[in-house]
Chains A and B, each alone.
Chain A
Amino acid sequence: MRNVILWATVFTFLSNAGFGQNRLKFRSTEWVGLSTGAAGNAGQVQSVNGVSMGPWFAGVGAGLDYYRFRSVPLFLSVTRDIQLGKKDWLFLYLDGGTNLPWYKRPETPEPAYTGDAFHGGEYWSGGLGYLWKLGDHSRKEVLFSAGYTVKKLSEDQSYQCPPGDFCPLIVSQTTAYEYLNRMYQFMIGFRF
């Protein structure tokens, strides 16, 4: 509890500290988008929340990605904005974190395995985007981005000879799959 109070105090101090244009500000970006790769197209949503200082933004993100297997990326995000005009900007972003599975294989009448479990893996994403400020002094912005994402998952399909069955050769077997998914990511977002 003491740590929470300490961090809250530090955050409040930094957020309100006078750094001119570079003072820390809380920002939140909500994304919807499309992942496209060898496994086809899939939707995704993300929410990234953190602080910005000048052209830099750093935050923590969480999402829902339906590419190949539904998963929940949890990541740290860093963004660098690059001003083009009064209201229009470019930005570069880099995300890195972990990709947690949220997927269960559909039941089949005669499954080739008796146990199935997905496990998490790395999550990386990077790209560039275009940012449009909605007003001269507004903190509300619309964002478009194109990027490249790598998400990893692993799966263990275990087979145990079921009671009542005779499995003459193999009593138990685990087949491990490592999935390296690589896809383009196109998103539209709203930052405030």
Chain B
Amino acid sequence: MFGMVVVTAGLLFLPGCLKDRVTESYQLYEPVYALKSTVLAGINGDPGTPISQLGQICVKGSFIYLNDINKGIHIIDNSDPAHPIQTAFLNIPGNLNIGIRNNILYADMYADVLSIDVSNVHQVKVLGMLRSFFTGRAFSSDSNYVVANWIVKDTSFTVVPQGFVLIPNTNYITYPSALPGAFYALANAAAASSGTSGAGTAGSEAVMVLVGDYLYAIPEEHSLGVVHVADSTNPTEVSYGMGGYDLETIFPIQDKLLLGSKEGVFVWSIGNPAAPVEVGEFKHGTACDPVIANTSYAFVTLHAGTECGGAANELDILHATDLSDVTLLKTYPMTSPTGLCLDGSLLFVCDASVVKIFDASNPDNLQLLSAVSVNLPNDVIAVNHVMIVVGADGLYQFDYTDPSHVAALSVLPINNSKL
């Protein structure tokens, strides 16, 4: 028996017994590259395909252009909003942003911007390409190649125990300030154009808009870029510089651009369209914040609980008669507001599980007219009494002829796919 004690004592203090082991398992996304020329040749207006993940929307005429994140653009014949038809699909890998002017669709393909003639949605034609504009989204060192697909692999390996990091040159570990990320998500992006002649109407979370002969965009989160698109076969970058900090959205109003950032709203004048100049700034607490405006007021939603940080969930209304001197008029508490839009005196706000419709005739005293249930609405467009809502599980349409009694028209469901 005493031998057992000795053996047990010996085993206890074997070296190496204290090495904890942490195994981390996740899905690795491996890019599959293709020649750009091959990919561009394949953008021709394929038949409609199931929707995987809703992105930006843009409405032009009787068509809805709907971004399927990283996959392309669904073209939906919305002549009858009660019966929308997915009529074509543009296979554009890496696409997030949409802008349309006349019959020319501008869309990003990762870092590049394409101009596409959509006069006939079943026989579209790529007219031109501006290379390497969205600098934050260049995934290929060779500009002749683009990521055409991603292969998902289950991956598992041993890591330094999570929650601790090795102190250099020692065998000791300590607690780090942040958790390691096991996956990565690319920068937020979205696209739309709004309220300019010949341009489509889009949501509030745009990072790319068309005004006159110019395309304005946030090519990466601190920059404002300008592309001259008068010649759609040759979109040309004319300006690229600092636009603000942590930029997220861009909205054109009159001769100004409102750049929504995590910290506030930056106001830029495009009096000289090719050379924007910053003329004002409004700061709020840190949060995600799409911004829209009319000639008198700007409307900003802040929502917390995301990678943007912050704790505010609110709708801010700003005096915007003088856009160089934007000041806060009033704050309304919200649950988790995201996209918003205006139609005359009606204000539409996506908030948690509903879209709220307000009478905004007096912004100092918004009147809630109705709250329409949608599964996690993200963005909304209201055109011709048809409210189009991007929800978590589909594209919803409602008739708001009577904004106090909104009627459901249709839902285009998405196919739940990870990529």
Contact at A164–B338, with CB atoms within 8 Å? yes
Which residues of chain A come closer than 8 Å to B418, judged between CB atoms? 170-172
Which residues of chain B come closer than 8 Å to A40, judged between CB atoms? 173
Indicate which residue in A82, A175, A184 contacts B12 across the interface (CB closer than 8 Å): A184
Contact at A108–B179, with CB atoms within 8 Å? yes
Indicate which residue in A113, A163, A176, A180 contacts B20 across the interface (CB closer than 8 Å): A180
Q: A166-B189, A173-B182 are in contact. Are A180 and B18 (CB under 8 A)?
A: no
Q: A92-B4, A168-B186, A170-B185 are in contact. Are A37 and B18 (CB under 8 A)?
A: yes
CA–CA, A6 and B205, complex, Å: 69
Distance to closest chain B CB from A34 (angstroms): 14
Which residues of chain A come closer than 8 Å to B339, judged between CB atoms? 164
Most buried by B among A40, A92, A105, A167: A167
Which residues of chain B come closer than 8 Å to A183, judged between CB atoms? 18
Distance to closest chain B CB from A110 (angstroms): 5
Instruction: Give residues of chain A (140-156) contacting chain B, Cβ–Cβ below 8 Å.
Output: 146-148, 155
Which residues of chain B come closer than 8 Å to A82, judged between CB atoms? 1-2, 5
Which residues of chain B come closer than 8 Å to A161, judged between CB atoms? 185
CA–CA, A109 and B286, complex, Å: 11
Contact at A159–B183, with CB atoms within 8 Å? yes
Indicate which residue in B162, B184, B305 contacts A169 across the interface (CB closer than 8 Å): B184
Contact at B26–A176, with CB atoms within 8 Å? yes
Which residues of chain B come closer than 8 Å to A110, judged between CB atoms? 307-309
The SS class assigned to the B binding surface is loop
Q: Does B151 contact A (CB under 8 A)?
A: no
Q: Does B378 contact A (CB under 8 A)?
A: yes
Which residues of chain A come closer than 8 Å to B21, judged between CB atoms? 178-180
Which residues of chain A come closer than 8 Å to B303, judged between CB atoms? 164
Q: Does A182 contact B (CB under 8 A)?
A: yes
Which residues of chain A come closer than 8 Å to B164, judged between CB atoms? 39
Contact at B173–A163, with CB atoms within 8 Å? no
Which residues of chain B come closer than 8 Å to A167, judged between CB atoms? 69, 185-186
Instruction: Give residues of chain B (63-116) contacting chain A, Cβ–Cβ below 8 Å.
Output: 69-70, 94, 96
Q: A92-B5, A148-B17 are in contact. Are A170 and B22 (CB under 8 A)?
A: no
Instruction: Give residues of chain B (342-368) contacting chain A, Cβ–Cβ below 8 Å.
Output: 350, 352
Q: A165-B288, A170-B183, A177-B23 are in contact. Are A184 and B18 (CB under 8 A)?
A: yes
Distance to closest chain A CB from B31 (angstroms): 10
Which residues of chain A come closer than 8 Å to B308, judged between CB atoms? 110, 165
Q: A162-B305, A164-B306, A166-B69 are in contact. Are A37 and B20 (CB under 8 A)?
A: yes
Contact at A168–B185, with CB atoms within 8 Å? yes
- Count residues of A near B (Cβ-Cβ below 8 Å): 49
Q: B130-160 vs A: 1/0 string, CB under 8 Å? A: 0000000100000000000010000000000
Which residues of chain A come closer than 8 Å to B376, judged between CB atoms? 163
Contact at A169–B25, with CB atoms within 8 Å? no
Contact at A128–B9, with CB atoms within 8 Å? yes
Contact at A39–B161, with CB atoms within 8 Å? yes
Q: Does A45 contact B (CB under 8 A)?
A: no
Q: Does A25 contact B (CB under 8 A)?
A: no
Which residues of chain A come closer than 8 Å to B26, judged between CB atoms? 173-176
Q: Does A112 contact B (CB under 8 A)?
A: yes
Contact at A176–B4, with CB atoms within 8 Å? no
Which residues of chain B come closer than 8 Å to A111, judged between CB atoms? 179
Minimal Cβ-Cβ distance residue in B for A116: B179
Distance to closest chain B CB from A65 (angstroms): 14
CA–CA, A102 and B96, complex, Å: 41
Q: Does A119 contact B (CB under 8 A)?
A: no
Pick 19 A–B contacts, CB within 8 A, sort by A: A38-B19, A39-B20, A108-B179, A128-B5, A128-B12, A147-B12, A148-B17, A163-B377, A163-B392, A164-B303, A164-B306, A166-B189, A168-B186, A169-B70, A173-B183, A176-B26, A180-B22, A182-B18, A184-B12
In the complex, the 10 A-B pairs of residues with the closest C-beta atoms, listed nearest first: A164-B338, A175-B182, A163-B376, A178-B23, A175-B26, A180-B21, A176-B25, A173-B183, A168-B186, A112-B181
Excluding A164-B306, A168-B189, A175-B25, 10 further A-B contacts by CB distance (< 8 Å) are: A37-B18, A82-B2, A165-B306, A166-B55, A166-B96, A166-B205, A170-B183, A173-B182, A177-B162, A184-B17
